[in-house]
Amino acid sequence: MNIEKVIFGFFVILACTLNFSFFVGDPESIAAHNATELFAALVINLVVVILKFGDRTQIGALHLATSLAATLQLMCSAMVWAWQVYIVGHEITVSIMATIVSFSGGALIANLISLILLIGETLRQTR
């Protein structure tokens, strides 16, 4: 068993599940989406990006690309939230929450692609 692959797989799956748990729920329901969960998803996605630096394989480059895309989407989501609450000083409205959740949905797609790549790479290596 390769411990590096276990750690990377763990963080990819954790990033996807955290992002999914933030994304699930009515986009118009502000109470269904937690800022702490969004922050945790962002931090774990950053960890995945860091873990993939230095991998010189083609599949490693794809993992890095999907992780960067997910991280960028989550950063945009967090910036919209922070802008609305801390800079503008207003409450989160339904339309702002829909924007935040939409960015999170884009990150979720990137996380799912990364997860599919991980599963495909694992299946290919066992043959």
What pLDDT, in 10s, does the model give residues 67-84? 999 999 999 999 999 999
Using a 10 angstrom Cβ sphere, with 0-12 exposed, 13-18 middle and 19 or more buried, the burial of residue 38 is buried
Residue 69 sits at the vertex; the CA angle it makes with 65 and 75, to the nearest 5 degrees, is 140
pTM of the complete model: 0.91
Q: Decide: helix, strand or coil at residue 15.
A: helix
Residue 4: predicted pLDDT: 87
Residue 126: predicted pLDDT: 62
Residue 56: predicted pLDDT: 84
Residues in the chain: 127
Residue 127: predicted pLDDT: 57
Residues of the chain with pLDDT under 70: 126-127
Residue 87: predicted pLDDT: 93
Tally of domains within the chain: 1
Name the residue range of residue 43's domain.
3-126
Residue 2: predicted pLDDT: 84
